Each structure stands twice: as C-alpha cells, then as structure tokens.
Amino acid sequence: MSTDPLPGKFATFRASTAPAMTGPGGAHARATVRRQRRRAAVVGAVAAVLVLVGAGAALAGLGHRSERLTPVTAPTTQRPTPTPSQEDTSWQLAIRNARMDLRPETNANCGGPVVDFRDGHGAGSYRGYDLNYRVMDFNLFRADIDRDGRPDYLVTVGCYSGEDPERAECPTELSDEACEAQQKLAITTQLFVLRGTPERLTAIAGIHAGSYGLPPSAVTISDDGVITIVTHGGTPQYTYRWGYRNGRMAIVARVSVSPSPRPTGSASPTR
C-alpha cells in the first residue's frame, strides 16, 4: 500500500474546481460567433468607405493639379531666329526725285543750275545752254564726308544737250558695242558731294572722275570720309584721295601705278 499523499490531494482539488471550469454551452458559443461576424462586417464597411473617400480625393487632386502646381523654372518660349538686318536703301530712291542745287559748284562738269529730278531725270539751263540731267545708277554713296556728324551724299550726275544719246541711232556700219560706246561718251558725268536730305540737296564740291563711257575703276569712301578714286585703265593708272579740308574738297593724296618694265637681256625660252 502506497503512503504518498499527493494523489489524494490532487483528486480532492479536481473535485472542488470542476464545476467552475464547465464551458458556456452551445447557445453561448453561437451568440459569441454572431457578435464577431457583426463586428467584422462593420469594420469591412468602414474600410470600404475610407478607400472610396481616398480614391475620390486623389481623382479630384489630379483634376486640379495643373492649377496648384508651380513649375520650378519659368516656361521657355520658342522665339524666331532674328534675320540680319539690311541697310536702308530708301534714300537712293529719294535722290532720284530730289531737288539738287548745283549752283555752288560752277566749275564742275554738269554744275551750275538747280535741277528738279523726277525718276532720275531733270533739266536745267546753264550759261546759255539747255542741258538734260540724269542721276546715274553707279557710284552712289552715303557717308559723313565733311565730318559734321551728319550723312552726306556722293552722287554721280550725268548731263548732255539735245536728244538722249542712248536713244540716238548709230550708223549702220558700227557694231553694237561701238554704238553703245559712242552713245555713252556723249554723256558727261560728274561726282558731286552734296549735303542736306535726300529730297533736298546742295552741292559742296564736284569731282571729275572719268566719264560714262570710261568710268573710274573703283570708288570707295573710308570711315573718316576720305574718297578714293582709281582711274580707268591707262598707263600710268592713278589713285586719287579726296578729303574735306578747310571748307572744301581737296586732293589729299595722288598715287600713280605703272606696269613693271619688261626685263631686258633675258634669254628667250627654247623649245
């Protein structure tokens, strides 16, 4: 027979606590399950509402995002590429319809009268002669020649008496080139330095430089108002530089260029 007291004490403990440890039974368990299901349904509905509210807010934000967002840098605008500006040449047309007072230059070719030009043509009387005048289309410049800070004009003017030589008939034995040369040689030309506006000009100097048939090889004006004229061909060939000095135009330099002489005593190449 066992003398261990523990088994007896455990049996007594179980008999006293068993009624208190009995489960709630089937009805109580079913009620607990129903409460848990209702709680889960409520939580799910609330979560669905929150999801829909969040999606709506996100869509609304996308619809108004362009009004709220400010770009970090200012937007750039594509600008057209500027075209190089061209020099204004409207004064050349105005000069062809100008009133030119050529009286201050009485010693120049074509000098003397006041001429009203229309489309480059005019007429005037000088020293008892009726002359026709033309604004030639070559050697036409605008520059500050007299150094007063205002533009002056270098204009080639032609003059002739009677019928326009370029419309005159030539003898039949002349070729077309010879006829043209004869017609041009009948027109006297003169370079005039004029001041004023393109519509109303007054001569301050007349420079003789070649003719219509044999015009200068080159005419240029430097930034300091000096006019350089290279004569047409010939031997020697001259270069004149004109400048405005002491109230009048004067030659400031004259250079002649002659062809280099052919060397003598050199042997001819043999073939």
Residue 107 within a domain: yes
User: d(Cα 111, Cα 190) in Å, to the nearest integer?
Assistant: 8
Residue 8 within a domain: no
Residue 70 has pLDDT above 80, yes or no: no
Residue 113 within a domain: yes
- In sequence order, the β-bridge partners of residue 183 are none
Q: Which of 68-77, 86-95, 129-138, 240-249 has the lowest mean pLDDT?
A: 68-77
Tens of pLDDT along 206-236? 888 777 877 888 899 999 999 999 887 666 7
Report the chain's mean pLDDT, rounded to a whole number. 76
Give the number of domains in the chain: 1
Residue 201 within a domain: yes
User: d(Cα 12, Cα 2) in Å, to the nearest integer?
Assistant: 17
Tens of pLDDT along 12-59? 766 665 555 555 555 655 666 566 666 665 555 555 545 455 555 554
Residue 232 within a domain: no
Output 217 or 69, whichever has higher pLDDT: 217
Range(s) of the domain holding residue 194: 90-214
Tens of pLDDT along 232-248? 766 677 899 999 998 88
pLDDT interval class at 264 (50, 70, 90):
very low
Rg (CA), the chain: 55
